[in-house]
Amino acid sequence: MGDMVVVRSKIKTHANGCNVSGDFANALNDAVVELIGKAATRAKGNNRKTVASKDL
């Protein structure tokens, strides 16, 4: 795993009262990194260098 792009301390805030397992942050980070990569690929495919919300 590379750099964390999610903020661990903010996850519980948004978990709506649920407990958060120790491995959740890493799994969420992996999913976010994958989503960013797909968005960047879409932007490049549309001849843009800027990733936008429409790429999600």
pLDDT on residue 36: 97
Give domain status of residue 39, yes or no.
Answer: yes
Q: Which two tokens stand for residue 18?
A: 């649920």
Give domain status of residue 18, yes or no.
Answer: yes
Give domain status of residue 42, yes or no.
Answer: yes
Domain limits for position 23: 8-55
Considering its fold, how many domains does the chain have in total? 1
Give domain status of residue 2, yes or no.
Answer: no
In this prediction the pTM is 0.85
* CA-closest candidate to residue 56, choices 34, 33, 44, 38: 38
Per residue in 6-56, pLDDT (tens digit) is 999 999 999 999 999 999 999 999 999 999 999 999 999 999 999 999 999
pLDDT on residue 17: 92
Give domain status of residue 3, yes or no.
Answer: no
Give domain status of residue 16, yes or no.
Answer: yes
